Structure 1
Amino acid sequence: MEAAADKAGVPYATARNWFRAAREAGDDWDKFRAASLIVAGGGIEQAMGRIIAAGLMRCEALLESIAGSGDVATGLQAMATLGDTITKLKSAGKGMMPEADQLAIENGAIKAFADLLIRQHPKTADAVLATVEAWASGQRA
């Protein structure tokens, strides 16, 4: 904590207060640091890993808060914050890895189309599945 306070250019007491406030709000910096160390790789993948790790820890803390709260208003606030956190995670993924988001959209469209073909033409199911598998393995021509 002392090194972090020094690096941020704030007194130790301020850093300690920030740490305590963050923990009370559901952010556990120690868990985040540990999760960040687990994330392998570099560049955008590492950044996304850290964002996802932080978001998942935040979601877990909010779920614990909801489960442990006997107060309806506190539970509702935690649920709203949980929804906001999930929305921010999805947005970060789209913004930082648009090709992965586009791939997810394409895969969903291909699956829906294949399902429709199989339902409307059940005798072609084997051919449709073989074609989808070829597409998934990278064949495009």
Structure 2
Amino acid sequence: MAHPKETREKLRGLYVSGKQTLETAAMICQIPFATARNWKRAALEKGDDWDKLRAAYTLAGGGIEDLSRAMLAGFLVQYNSTMTMLQDATTEDLRPSERAKLLSALADAFTKTVAANARVMPETSKLATALEVLEMLAVFVQEKHPAHLGAFVEVLEPFGAQVEQKFG
């Protein structure tokens, strides 16, 4: 089925500057993901590198942390897709030993990606750590000093906003 040129341009715009994954952009444009992937590959062969342009837009719009978030989000989409594929594969498609190797490699890639992302995005990593500590403190106060829980919650809410402002 031939699609109008406008659909291809819309897909490109959603992916390059619209911060959408290729999968999401394809759904928005109501085209198969395979078609979107083919259009992207064809554009690259003609010198139109959508990924380079996407990275440039991301950097121009918010710096390395936004790019890192986008890369992590893209990885997580691929991770989820791969996990679904592995879960759906039968033993005829994939021997148990192959499945174990793939799961191990996927877990390793996840660990490395998250660790690299934490190094690139120290503020986001600090925010996550700070919020986790606040949650731990809330549980501690609730379990060990329940009489003080009301005062703690009263202080926690405005302090949580300050933590988000500093690290968010």
TM-score, reference length from structure 2: 0.55
Aligned to 1:10: none
Aligned to 1:89: 113
Measure the CA separation in 1 of the matches of 2:45 and 2:101: 31
Query: Shift in Å at residue 55 of structure 1?
Result: 0.9
Measure the CA separation in 2 of the matches of 1:137 and 1:61: 35
Query: Shift in Å at residue 62 of structure 1?
Result: 2.1
Measure the CA separation in 2 of the matches of 1:46 and 1:55: 14
Instruction: Determine whether 1:4 maps to 2:44.
Output: yes
Q: 1:74 aligns with which of 98, 106, 112?
A: 98
Measure the CA separation in 2 of the matches of 1:123 and 1:61: 47
Q: Which runs of 5+ in 1 are unaligned?
A: 8-29
Measure the CA separation in 2 of the matches of 1:134 and 1:76: 47
Measure the CA separation in 1 of the matches of 2:144 and 2:154: 17
Measure the CA separation in 1 of the matches of 2:100 and 2:161: 45
Provide closer, same or farther for how the CA distance between residues 131 and 58 of structure 1 changes in structure 2, counting only shifts above 3 A: same
Measure the CA separation in 1 of the matches of 2:129 and 2:101: 32
Aligned to 1:11: none
Runs of 4+ in 1 over 4 A off after TM superposition: none
User: Which runs of structure 2 are paired with 1:105-116 in the superposition (5 Å)?
Assistant: 105-116=129-140
Query: Shift in Å at residue 115 of structure 1?
Result: 1.7
Q: Which runs of 5+ in 2 are unaligned?
A: 1-40, 164-168
TM-score, reference length from structure 1: 0.64
Conservation of the 8 A alpha-carbon contact between 1:58 and 1:85: no
Aligned to 1:61: 81
Structure 1, residues 21-61: CA drift from partner, whole Å, max 9, x if none? Answer: xxxxxxxxx9xx6xx69x97432243113311331233123
Query: Shift in Å at residue 3 of structure 1?
Result: 4.8
Aligned residues: 113
Question: Which deviates more, 62-71 or 95-104?
Answer: 62-71
Measure the CA separation in 2 of the matches of 1:56 and 1:80: 16
Query: Shift in Å at residue 72 of structure 1?
Result: 0.4
Q: Which amino acid letter does the alignment assign opposite residue 145 of structure 2?
A: H
Q: 1:119 aligns with which of 138, 143, 163?
A: 143
Conservation of the 8 A alpha-carbon contact between 2:118 and 2:124: yes
Query: Which structure carries more relative contact order (alpha carbon 8 Å, separation 6+)?
Result: 2
SS of the residue corresponding to residue 118 of structure 2 reads helix
Q: RMSD of the alignment, in Å?
A: 3.0
Q: 1:47 aligns with which of 40, 49, 67?
A: 67
Aligned to 1:100: 124
